Amino acid sequence: KLVGPTEFTEGCDREPIQFLGRVQSHGLLMALDAGDLQIVRVSDNSERLIGIRPEDLLGQSAPSVFSGEFRDVIESCLHDLSAGKNNPLRLDIAVRGESVTFDGVVHRTGDCVIVELENPRTEAHARSPRGRVIDQHFEFVRGTLADVAQLSDLDEIGQQITRAVRGYTGFDRVMLYRFEEDEHGVVIGEDRPEEMEPFLGLHYPASDVPQQARKLYCRSLLRLIVDVDDPGSPVVASDDRQARVPLDLSHAVLRSVSETHIEYLRNMDVGASMSISLVQGGRLWGLIACHHRGPRFVSYERRAACEMLGAVVMGQITAAEQAIAERRRAAANADCAKIVQAAATRASISDALVEYERPFLSLVEATGAAVFIGGTTRLLGTTPELKNVTRILDEIENSVGGPISRLERVAELSADFSQFSKNCCGVLAMRFVNGDAILFFRPETVRTIKWAGNPYREVEDRPASVSESDSPLDRLSPRNSFAIFAESVRGRSVPWTEANLEVAELLKSSIESLLGRRADEVSQLQR
Ligand code: BLA
């Protein structure tokens, strides 16, 4: 059965990813009753990790099973759990007669205290020879910030961050992944080994990181998938508690992730994955996404440093974005002033716009324009035929109206407009008070975006490839993701932004005042 891309991805947003009842098996999870610290749930790998069977833990009081110190440690941690400020706790636990040090990560959910144990020695990477672990973490954050602070270009920032995170965590590939206004994602920074295929510049459909995951990632800022081949360890309870009330693992660092996502990673030949949330004003702006070809564990401390880096780097990215937008706005305003000034000295405004074609089009990042001013009509750049331009103008007048309107899918106005919608599907139309008008055009998104390695033709020439597979899961891979993305934006242009609209308004009012002056001059001459 062939499954269309939307049909296939529809269910993605509904999987309850925090209630899967399973943890990654390199660590142990226990849920304690917040009142008496009795162990009410435990992951079924406890015997391997601490030498005690789940059934011997369930129903026991945690301080009595471990040591008296355990209670103090948990209590000290409990009164300020929200930020995980006291994590990790170093706990020494006697396992089969030998003392083993664990990182204890504690948080509260409902009436349970969740204790997760990880062995920091599992981390293979970059142990400091003299054990100055803390200094290393501190240097990573401070050094990366200092490097990024020098930069004002988003590409360079992306390069710098991904290089730093890759060096520090040892992942094979690190990407900076940004969500666009319409929620689809794009890789804007990447550091990888030479031999690996570049993902830089690839675009992904919004469904690749479904809505509930984005929501969760705004609150829980880092996840590590240590081994995609790990089936995970179910969390068991002494009674039928798990069946009645599923345990909320939203903030559990060991949470096993969705099987669909695991499949996606497998298809990409990824063995381990880590992602750091970049949250801007409560919205998931993007992720720092890390891939490894084999399994990879990163210690809690190192993860905490990554999380902190994400937060501060987000501030720097926001500042850089604002500076870039400000520069663009200033440049567009200056160009607009120059063009209007030139128009003021010419007999015909349209002639001036034609003469300044390039800066005129780039005012609103368009590739074509139709100018209807003072009884003349001019087509600039790539536009539909004149008769169709006129029809578009009429349709907009009839159905959308307003002095300035923008649309991304011209075929919305009339189905037969799809004949030219590859090159001209985005329309920004302005109507002047005297009835004159300017229309700007943009091509399909796939024709606008650029990416490394793969020209868009490959996608375009094989539009059916996304539906060829029998199993929907086979289609979960970056290349197919790109094809699905391309299909999802067929017939649609890159959205006109608020910044585009702002410049359009400026242009409109400038030309209007020119038109007004001309009209005055004409009437004075006539008098
Ligand atoms: C989660 N999807 C994710 C995550 C990433 C991506 C980064 C976060 C988990 C992690 O850190 O690994 C997507 N990863 C990407 C993309 C790139 C990358 C785009 O490296 C590009 C290079 N995924 C799908 C479809 C579905 C889906 C069609 O492609 C739904 C059917 C689901 N993705 C999905 C789910 C999660 C997810 C459910 C949440 C996993 C979890 O946290 O449990």
Q: pLDDT per residue over 187-230, tens digit each?
A: 999 999 999 988 888 888 888 899 999 999 999 999 999 999 99
Burial class (CB within 10 angstroms; exposed 0-12, middle 13-18, buried 19+) of 27:
buried
Alpha-carbon span 113 to 35, nearest angstrom: 9
User: d(Cα 115, Cα 446) in Å, to the nearest integer?
Assistant: 48
User: Given this model, what pLDDT does residue 44 score?
Assistant: 95
Q: How far is the CA of 264 from the centre of ligand 1 (A)?
A: 7
| Residue 475's pLDDT band (cuts 50, 70, 90) | low
Q: Is the CB of 482 under 6 A from ligand 1?
A: no
What was the pLDDT predicted at 367?
94
Enumerate residues 6+ apart whose C-beta is below 8 A from 68.
none
Least confident of 54-58, 226-230, 414-418: 414-418
For ligand 1, whether the C-beta of 15 sits within 6 Å is yes
Distance 261 CA to ligand 1 centre (A): 5
Contact 429, 437 (CB under 8 A): yes
Out of 90-94, 225-229, 304-308, least confident range: 90-94
With H, G, I as helix, E, B as strand and everything else as coil, classify residue 83: coil
User: Left, alpha or beta for 21 (phi > 0: left; psi -120 to 50: alpha)?
Assistant: left
Identify the bridge partners of residue 130 per DSSP, sorted by sequence position. none
List the beta strands (DSSP E) in 27-171.
28-33, 39-43, 89-95, 98-109, 112-118
In this structure, how many other beta carbons lie within 10 angstroms of the beta carbon of residue 225?
24
Token pair listed for 104:
């204890």
Q: CA-to-CA distance for 486 and 464, rounded, in angstroms? A: 11
Contacts of 126 (CB under 8 A, 6+ apart): 136, 168, 170
- Determine if ligand 1 sits within 6 Å of the CB of residue 12: yes
Residue nearest (by alpha carbon) to ligand 1 atom 16: 208
Contacts with 19 (C-beta within 8 Å, 6 or more apart), sequence order: 246, 247, 248, 249
**Measured CA distances, 493 to 310, 330, 345, 363, 405 (Å):** 31, 25, 35, 17, 15
Q: How far apart are CA 490 and CA 483, in angstroms?
A: 10
Tens of pLDDT along 403-415? Answer: 999 999 999 999 9
Least confident of 202-211, 378-387, 421-430, 515-524: 515-524
What average pLDDT score do residues 353-375 get? Answer: 93
Mean pLDDT of 148-173: 95
CA of 260 relative to ligand 1 center, distance in Å = 8
Would you list the DSSP string of 12-64? GGG--TT---EE-TTSEEEEEETTT-BEEEEETTHHHHHS--HHHHTTSBHHH
Residue nearest to atom 11 of ligand 1 (CA): 275
Q: Which residue has the CA at smallest separation from atom 23 of ligand 1?
A: 208
pLDDT at residue 203, as a whole number: 84
CB of residue 212 inside a 6 A radius of ligand 1: no
Tokens of 237: 């309870």
**256 in contact with ligand 1, CB cutoff 6 A:** no
Where do the H-state alpha helices sit in 203-346? 211-219, 241-244, 259-267, 300-345
Q: Give the mean pLDDT of 106-117.
A: 90
**Distance from the CA of 132 to the center of ligand 1, in angstroms?**
35
Paired residues of 108 in beta bridges: 113
What residues contact 391, with CB distance under 8 A and at least 6 apart?
Answer: 414, 417
State residue 4's pLDDT score: 39
The H or E element containing residue 147 is helix 133-149
Conformational region of residue 401, where left means phi above 0, alpha means psi within -120 to 50, and beta covers everything else: left
Describe the crossing of helices 133-149 and 154-169 by its angle, rounded to 10 degrees. 170
pLDDT at 21 over 50: yes
Q: Which of 421, 461, 427 is nearest to 444 (CA)?
A: 421
Query: Which residue, judged by its Cα, is nearest atom 41 of ligand 1?
Result: 257
Asked whether 210 lines ligand 1 (CB < 6 A), one says yes
Q: Separation of 208 CA from ligand 1 center, angstroms? A: 5
Ligand 1 geometric centre to CA of 279 (Å)? 17
**Residue with the nearest Cα to atom 14 of ligand 1?**
289
> 424 pLDDT exceeds 70?
yes
CA distance 269 to 263: 10
- Number of C-beta neighbours around residue 92 at 10 A: 12
HSE toward the beta carbon, residue 63, CA cutoff 13 A: 13
> Which is higher by pLDDT, 481 or 27?
27
> Average of pLDDT values for 122-150?
75
ipTM reported for the complex, 2 dp: 0.96
Q: How far, in Å, from the CA of 364 to the mean position of ligand 1?
A: 34
Q: Which of 174, 173, 178, 172 is closest to 154 using CA atoms?
A: 178
Token pair, residue 496, equals 């006109």
Atom of ligand 1 lying closest to residue 20 CA: 43
With a 6 A CB cut-off, is 267 part of the ligand 1 pocket?
Answer: no
**Ligand 1 centroid, distance to 206 Cα (angstroms):** 10
- In three-state secondary structure terms, 455 is coil
Q: What is the pLDDT of residue 406?
A: 94
CA–centroid distance, residue 453 to ligand 1 (Å): 23
User: Exposed, middle or buried by CB within 10 Å (0-12, 13-18, 19+), for 398?
Assistant: exposed
For residue 58 and ligand 1, the question of a CB distance below 6 A is answered with no
* Residue 242 confidence (pLDDT): 62
Is the CB of 20 inside a 6 Å radius of any atom of ligand 1?
Answer: no
Question: Which residue ranges form the domains of the chain, and what is each CATH number?
Answer: 322-447+492-526 (3.30.450.270)
Segment 238-292, tens digit of pLDDT:
877 766 788 999 999 999 999 989 988 998 889 999 999 999 999 999 999 999 9
- The mean predicted confidence, pLDDT, of the chain is 86
**pLDDT-based confidence at residue 449 (cuts at 50, 70, 90):** low
Judged by DSSP in three states, 287 sits in strand
Say whether pLDDT at 126 is over 70: no
265 CA → ligand 1 middle, Å: 8
Residue 471, both tokens: 């199993």
Is the shortest distance between the CB of 13 and ligand 1 below 6 Å? no
Integer CA distances (angstroms), 283 to 216, 219, 292, 494, in order: 11, 10, 27, 21
